[in-house]
Structure 1
Amino acid sequence: MDVITTHVNADFDCLGAMVAARKLYPEARLVFSGSQEKSMRDFFLKSTSYALDFTRLKDLEFDKITRLILVDCQHSSRIGRFAEILTRPGVEVHIYDHHPESSGDITPAAGIIRESGSTCTILATLLRERGIEVNATEATLMMLGIYEDTGSLTFPTITGEDYQAAAWLLEQGANLNTVADFMTQELTAEQVSLLNDLLKSLQTTTLNGIDVSLAHTSVDYYIGDIAVLAHMMRDMENLEALFLVVGMGNRVYIVARSRIPEVNVGDILRELGGGGHATAASATVRELTLIQVLERLEETLRNKVNPRRVARDIMSAPVKTMPASTTLTEARELLTRYNVNAMPVMDGKRMVGIISRRIVEKALYHELGSLPVSEYMHTEYLKGTPDTPVAAVQEYIVGQNRRLVPIFDGEELCAVITRTDLLRSMYAGEALYDLARDSLPIRSREVMRLIDRQLAPDVVKMLRDLGQVGEELDLPVYAVGGFVRDLLLGIENCDIDVTIEGDGILFATTFAAKFGCRVKSHVKFGTAVIVFPDGTKIDVASTRLEYYASPGALPTVERSSLKMDLYRRDFTINTLAIRLNSPDFGVLIDYFGAQRDLQERVLRVLHNLSFVEDPTRVFRAIRFEQRLDFHIAKHTENLIKNAVKMNFLDKLGGKRLLSELVHILTENDPLRAVDRLASLGLLRFIHPDLFLTKPVRRNMEEAVRIVSWFELLFLDRRYEKWAVYFLTLTGTLSNDEFLATCNRLAVNEHYREKLFESRRQAGTMLEIMQRKVARGIPVLRSDIYFWLKALPVELLLFMMASTTSADVKKFISLYITQLQNVRTMLNGKELQRLGVPAGPRIRELLDVLLTARLNNEVLSREDEERLVRKRVGRVL
């Protein structure tokens, strides 16, 4: 059986080419390998001028296929299930494609592969040469394919063959009105919104004299036909080379168009797993964040459109090295720690070789981990100087598949050029893309207005003073993190974090000396806390990167740039920075699209290993989502689910888990966050038997109401709010299970015993009160007082939330609002003046007086004195 097919997301060139191919293979079945672009689906729905006999993929008997005819595709990864039969004995593959012959991984037995405007052009030419006639419908379909892939015969890469093929099809009756109708499609509301976002983010950068334009955005749902938007933007803005990058759910789609031979978009996107030809190409990237895809695209563009520069323009310093005595096992740890693939090997100050990750991994596979790297390092390598042309470096790295070029100043190793350095080489370090899309155009003047409007004058002065000290020390100073985020959101936040590109401790000590503050420094982490005379604190840190020895471990910290410092943070919305140095005071820095995500109220991680390296970020994600009323992006939520599935949170230390849980349970309405924890399967990492059952949820809802009631009555009363919710959440656990939970959370021994004993007392007291109510036994106000007086307020609120008895709830409420503050008017000394001898009798009488006052049996001092004389007289 012969089958004609094409790539998934088929377009008009695919459809026209499939129809043309069947003229060559009349017995073949037409089968789409997957979905089609929306414009072509609309064609099938709207057009009634033809009838095509297509076979549905699910109805095809794959085991009977003997010949597969592919059109407009040479990639096995783009033909769905048909890839399974490519290597099956007895299956012959023919390919007709207008992309470069080397662009795919399928070797055909026959067909035609040559560069042309469209695959329809090649097949139309073949039909004309063989004298095979086509009807008007078939001619129209092939004309649609030519017009779509050649920009209606306007792309600079089209050939005379395309015009000749179009002329022949016109003679065969191709309907240009139909072609025009389907070449000009109305945009949907979602496409219009997407186009607006892309236009706002559009940025053009010059690479080696060539203008390259890039636009990007993210949505949590699929929007089809972004290729249409690429055509529109290219024509609207008159762009030479355009790349659209759109995150949709857990995939990132790239569409590229080019009018110039210097930017071969097909070649570029093949590096990202896509394909196409020089003027039009696309790619779909799975399981990477938008930020990661943009970084990979930037590296590829810098490689494919490479400026003519010398080594000093792109080299990196200082250099991470390892001694020649380092074992191969230790070498792997160093390479992983610094996230590099190769490292110079040193004998003292003399470089003696290069060790690569590939060699290390192979050596470890052969159980050679105890040997020194000097045994297997590369000893022959290009020795560059700062004046070595980048072209020579590129030839060495790319041509010889090397990882690193050392750069020497005389005999001294002064820098290196890595593959990443080479890919990132470009004019003046100008950014290729700016994730801070203009859809929320915050500029320094607007930041200044926000600062002046939302911050107290003394806070503004403090920020300017910080910047001024930075100027005096020649150190860039930035306000970073949640303070900047909340400033843009209009949320009050006086918790200021400052980052210094340089020595943060030096900055902090200099500032403190100048303004009469104290400093607490932590040399190991390069951090300090400035404490002002009024108690105000500012955290100061040197810009740094972090790496993790294992999932869930605490990070190891080293110095780095501002961008790397921000990249190590948890979510994009926390990566904003404001420059404080006086010349640039108020300039907002946004490397990772935080403004966009703030505007869209979405929470995204920066990279896919974020929750692996630090599982506490899972809890922070939920806390920020609920506090800010944001939503976790679909891909980020998938990464959370993966971290749960892989049990990475089991490796999280108890103290860190407890800290995050306390933060969540201190929020105004923690139930929303607890709901989210339960829905994502996170409660089991606190205790395997902890579930948000209906009774627990009811008690949590009641706890939220009771805590709100309590805080409204007692505005200044200090108490541990989180403990109320923690006791409520774990209320259905047995005593042993509760102790196991406390142990898992590494609650300190004293507090653990206090919680356990309080929980036991609460159970006893609730049982007593509920039994009294159930039996109809009258309960005196004094009974309530003496039952509850020894219990802390956290336990009382927990008891109110846990009981289902309205009467018991009233008892506890009465105690909190009235009874706990009842006192006798007489004291011990006054009782002695009334003739009561010192000793235990004093305590007994005071309790009698208190009981009488609680039960309204005495109302004044005179009443208390009469009661005492009566009691004293009876005794005497």
Structure 2
Amino acid sequence: DFAFLTHKMMRMENLDVLFAIAHMGNKVYVVARSKTPDVDVGAMVGILGGGGHAFAAAATIRDKTQAQVEQELLEVLHENIRSGRRAKDLMSSPAIRVSPDLSCEDARNLLTRYNINALLVAQKENGIDKLMGYISRQVIAKAVHLKLEHASVSEYMTTEIAVVETDAEIQEIQEKIIDNKQRVLPVMDHDDIVGVITRTDLLNVLVRQSEFRNQRLPDPFREDISARTRNIVRFVKERLSDQLVEILENVGKVATDFGFGAYAVGGFVRDLFLFRKNEDLDIVIEGDGIAFAQKYAQMHGARCHQYEKFGTAVIIFPHGFKMDVASARMEYYRFPADLPTVEMSSIKLDLFRRDFTINTLAIQLNPGKFGILIDFFSAQKDIKEKSVRILHNLSFVEDPTRVFRAIRFEQRFGFTIGKLTSGLIENAVRMDFFKQLSGRRIFTELRQILEEEYPTRAVQRLEDYDLLKFIHPALRMSRKLISAFNAVKQSLSWHDLLFLEEEYLRWIVYFAVLVSDCDRKTTEEVCDRLEIAPRHRVIFCNERFDSERCLYQIQSSVSLKNSELYKCLSGFRIEMLLYMMSVAQKEEVKKAISYYFTQLRQIKPVIRGNSLKDIGIEPGPIYGQVLNAVLDAKLNGELQTFEDELNFVRNYISPNPPSPFPERAGGEKS
């Protein structure tokens, strides 16, 4: 019978309390059992119209659905169950706390002295210790390893910290410790710190250590198995093409043949949940990634380029699709702003080395586990909350370029940089870690920002965090510059809507605007700092100034013939024409450049050198002078047909003997 099954399930699952609901015939039955004085099931079921005693009760309910009964029961439980175990009963007191100006070295000594794993940081205000955050043993150890032992704990403490009041129940305590991944949970009496609850304190209350060992139950506080997982195979197949799903399935099969774990990771997985198209596929292999890539390429008719030093490879499919493969690896840094040293590791350590939580999602690809989403670091929560957060407090010390990426992701996705992460950016700026970065690394990050669809706000954020000074002290985002950046966006959108089959580099246009208030000497200093390649340096240090002289000439002229406009603009690359459109102050000047771009630059004479020879003109420098004259006349609307051009040449030659110094294209004398 139902009561017997409930009793059996209680024993089999070793439960303290069980409420079982079943719908049979036209009735709903509730059977309840309890082994704890915290839950009086007789009282609970009595509210539903049943009866019994504190440890066993039952109810038979008519004229209600099972869903209605379940909802009523949940409301009864929520209103009536109160745990006898509260924060004041679990906490350790007094809580060991330190001042924010304590050095990391001294903090390490305190942790050792008291044999604890975290310290609360508090500032004395009006005789009360005001909680500012906490710092863990791991953060302090890494700070000392990076030779930051004299830095104060306030520089690297976690400031986003959950707290509980003294009467908080066990469920609230558990949720705040686990969901926030806190090693310590401060217990407050209003604004006063009265104690602290550690993860070990909570673990001892929830279960006995022997039960974990004997029953082989998972320990929710062991970090190596703390990932949140769920099956998203249907979602994957809805979001991706059949061809891409087949590639992922084949990756899992080949990896399994080797005995390796295979995962899709990074931005590819993140963008699935942001509903953004991203086919930059990154695969992590728990094992020899290069051996896997070689075998996969061989089996599927693809090419493989491997990089032994980093344990990575690129698989290139016959239709051009590329897939990046890496061995699961961990990184460590010998000093601030150093390039990482790489070692083999597991998928969790591989994900932990990444820059932000939103980039730490992984999808398992092995058969039998295909489509299992793995989330070790609450990435789904941060994506839902639209927050950019680092994984550990020394992230920007190890690699300051992550600051640029934080800003890029924030603006690309419409997210917000987390409070703690923002404070650590300010700290990295204050401690001048960016000065140790090579110009090439800064330029790489800046270029990626300028290649974004809407880089204006991202560059403003660089200014907000005082980061532009690490490129050059003269760079400032003035209102004029912001207006020019917005104009670049309009110019690029206008160009793209022309659907011309011409490639151009959008970052060059934005960068030219960024340095548009700099003189030649300052521009050269900026290029030196960023180690910009000579082929690009000439654009900013030479062509930009030529374009500005041309722009001044156009703006100063009352009216220009088409031929004059052509000669002024014909020597410039697409990026410089778009730059001039963006910084031009007058609307008629923008229209003139647009007219050249869409109409004039396409105009060419039909007549050629052979035609000149046919009408008796001897080959020589005169050809250039004649063809330039034909082009001028055609640009000015005087010539329409091939016959018009021939007649023009005959008339041009007859009264005008050739000049000993004929003009070249662009108006220069030869």
TM-score, normalised to structure 1, is 0.54
Q: Which of the residues 510, 514, 525 maps onto 1:725?
A: 510
Distance in 2 (alpha carbons) for counterparts of 1:677 and 1:435: 36
Contact 2:547 2:576 in 1 (8 A): yes
Structure 1 residues 874 and 594: CA distance shift in structure 2, 3 A: same
Q: Which of 610, 624, 627 pairs up with 1:829?
A: 610
486 and 603 in structure 1: CA distance in 2 versus 1, 3 angstrom threshold? same
1:125-524 correspondence runs (5 A) = 230-231=168-169, 233=171, 242=174, 244-245=176-177, 254=185, 276=195, 282=196, 297=199, 307=209, 427=216, 430-432=219-221, 443-444=230-231, 447-524=232-309
User: How many Å separate the matches in 2 of 1:659 and 1:722?
Assistant: 11
Q: Is the 8 A contact 1:437 1:596 kept in 2?
A: no
Out of 346, 349, 364, which is 1:564 matched to? 349
1:725-744 CA-to-partner distances (Å, cap 9, x unmatched) read 00001110111111111111
Structure 1 residues 502 and 722 mapped into 2: Cα distance closer, same or farther (>3 Å)? same
Q: Any idea what SS the aligned residue of 1:582 has? A: coil
Partner of 2:542: 757
Change in CA separation of 1:522 and 1:479 when aligned onto 2, cut-off 3 Å: same
Within 1, Cα distance between the matches of 2:96 and 2:200?
24
Q: 1:822-844 CA deviation, whole Å, 9 max, x = no partner?
A: 11121222222122221111111
8 Å contact from structure 2 (residues 177, 185) kept in 1: yes
Any idea what the Cα deviations from partners look like across 1:630-683, whole Å, max 9, x if unmatched?
111111110111111111111111111111111100111100101111111111
**Distance in structure 1 (CA, Å) of the matches to 2:242 and 2:346:** 31
Contact (CA 8 Å) 1:450, 1:488: kept in 2 or not? no
Q: Name the CA distance, whole Å, in 2 between partners of 1:73 and 1:557.
A: 40
Given the superposition, is the C-alpha separation of residues 598 and 810 from structure 1 closer, same or farther in structure 2, using an over 3 Å criterion? same
| Cα contact 1:435–1:593 (8 A) shared by 2 | no
RMSD of aligned Cα (Å): 3.6
Gaps of 5+ in 1: 1-71, 81-103, 105-218, 235-240, 258-272, 277-281, 284-295, 314-424
For residues 98-154 of structure 1, give each alpha carbon's deviation from its aligned partner in whole angstroms, at most 9, with x where no partner exists. xxxxxx9xxxxxxxxxxxxxxxxxxxxxxxxxxxxxxxxxxxxxxxxxxxxxxxxxx
Per-residue deviation, 1:706: 1.1
Q: Identify the residue that residue 527 of structure 2 maps to in structure 1.
A: 742
For residues 695 and 436 of structure 1, the distance between their equivalents in structure 2, rounded to whole angstroms, comes to 53
Match of 1:583 among 368, 379, 383: 368
> Offset at 1:254?
2.0
* Uncovered stretches (5+) of structure 2, i.e. residues with no partner: 1-90, 100-118, 120-157, 658-670
Map of 1:866 onto structure 2: 647
Q: Give the SS at the match of 1:713.
A: coil
Q: Does 1:621 align with 2:402?
A: no
Q: In structure 2, do the counterparts of structure 1 residues 76 and 545 end up closer, same or farther at CA, with 3 Å as the change threshold?
A: closer
Q: In structure 2, give the amino acid aligned to 1:630.
A: F
Q: Find the aligned partners of 2:387 and 2:453 in 1 and give their Cα distance.
A: 20
Mapped contact 2:186–2:193 kept (Cα < 8 A): no
- Could you say what secondary structure the match of 1:823 adopts? coil
What is residue 680 of structure 1 aligned with on the other side?
465
In 1, Cα distance between equivalents of 2:389 and 2:160: 15
Alignment check: 8 A CA contact 1:477 1:580 kept: yes
Matched to 2:576, the amino acid is L
Q: Are 1:840 and 2:627 an aligned pair?
A: no
Choose the corresponding residue for 1:594, options 379, 386, 406.
Answer: 379
Structure 1 residues 607 and 427: alpha-carbon distance in aligned structure 2, compared to 1, 3 A threshold: farther
Equivalent residue runs for 1:597-616 within 5 Å: 597-616=382-401
1:708–1:870 CA distance, 2 compared to 1 (3 A): same
Q: How many Å apart are 1:304 and its aligned residue?
A: 12
- State the secondary structure of the residue aligned to 2:497: helix
Classify 1:578/1:490 alpha carbon distance in 2 versus 1 (closer, same or farther; 3 Å).
same
In 1, Cα distance between the equivalents of 2:482 and 2:205?
56
| Helix, strand or coil at the partner of 1:874 | coil
- Residues 260-307 of structure 1: CA distance to partner in whole angstroms, max 9, x if unpaired? xxxxxxxxxxxxx9764xxxxx46xxxxxxxxxxxx846995999884
Alpha carbons 2:401, 2:442 under 8 Å: kept: yes
Match of 1:644 in 2: 429
Task: Report how far residue 223 of structure 1 moved.
Answer: 8.7
Distance 1:302 1:760, change over 3 A: farther
What is the deviation of 1:221? 8.6
- Say if 1:570 and 1:222 are closer, same or farther in 2 by CA, change over 3 A: closer
After TM superposition, give the deviation of residue 536 of structure 1 in Å.
Answer: 1.3
Number of the residue aligned with 1:857: 638
Cα displacement (A) at 1:806? 2.3
Change (3 A) 1:231 1:802: same
Counterpart Cα distance in 2 of 1:798 and 1:594: 39
Check 1:221–1:477 CA distance in 2 against 1; reply closer, same or farther (3 A cut): closer
What is the rounded CA distance, in whole Å, between the counterparts of 2:504 and 2:201 in structure 1? 54
Secondary structure of the equivalent of 2:518? Answer: coil
1:42-191 alignment, distance < 5 Å: 75=94
Does the Cα contact within 8 Å between 2:449 and 2:455 map onto a contact in 1?
yes
The whole-number CA distance in structure 2 between the counterparts of 1:789 and 1:480 is: 47
Listed one character per residue, the Cα deviations across residues 364-387 of structure 1 (whole Å, up to 9, x for unaligned) are: xxxxxxxxxxxxxxxxxxxxxxxx
Q: 1:780 corresponds to which residue?
A: 561
The alpha carbon displacement at 1:251 in A equals 9.8
Instruction: Give the paired residue count.
Output: 508
Q: Secondary structure at the match of 2:283?
A: strand
Matched, 1:659 2:597: no
Partner of 1:804: 585
Partner of 1:700: 485
CA distance in 2, matches of 1:299, 1:548: 34
Q: Check whether the contact 1:703–1:798 (CA below 8 A) recurs between aligned residues.
A: yes
Supply the AA of the counterpart residue of 1:674: V
What's the CA shift for 1:796?
Answer: 1.1
Distance 2:422 2:215 in 1: 35
Structure 1 distance, partners of 2:229, 2:601, is: 54
Structure 1 residues 633 and 246: CA distance shift in structure 2, 3 A: farther
Match of 2:330 among 542, 545, 562: 545
Deviation of residue 433 (structure 1)? 7.1
> Which letter maps to 2:653?
V
Q: 1:804-855: CA deviations, max 9, x gaps? A: 1223222211111111111112122222212222111111111111111111
8 A Cα contact 1:601 1:629, kept in partner: yes
**% identity of equivalent residues:** 39
Q: Deviations over 1:74-108 (max 9, x none)?
A: 7486799xxxxxxxxxxxxxxxxxxxxxxx9xxxx
- Partner Cα separation in structure 1 for residue 468 and residue 581 of structure 2: 24
AA of the residue aligned to 1:728:
V
Q: Tell me, yes or no, if the aligned pair for 1:720 and 1:794 is still in contact at 8 Å.
A: yes
Question: What's the counterpart of residue 793 of structure 1?
Answer: 574
Residues 184 and 199 of structure 2 are in contact (CA less than 8 Å); yes or no, is this contact kept in structure 1?
A: no
1:813 and 2:594 correspond: yes
Distance 2:183 2:199 in 1: 12
Q: Is contact 1:796-1:812 (8 Å) kept? A: yes
Deviation at 1:432, TM superposition (A): 2.4
Q: Is the 8 A contact 2:229 2:375 kept in 1?
A: no
State the 1:436 CA deviation.
11
Aligned to 1:85: none
**Cα 1:715–1:596, aligned 2, differ >3 Å: closer, same or farther?**
farther
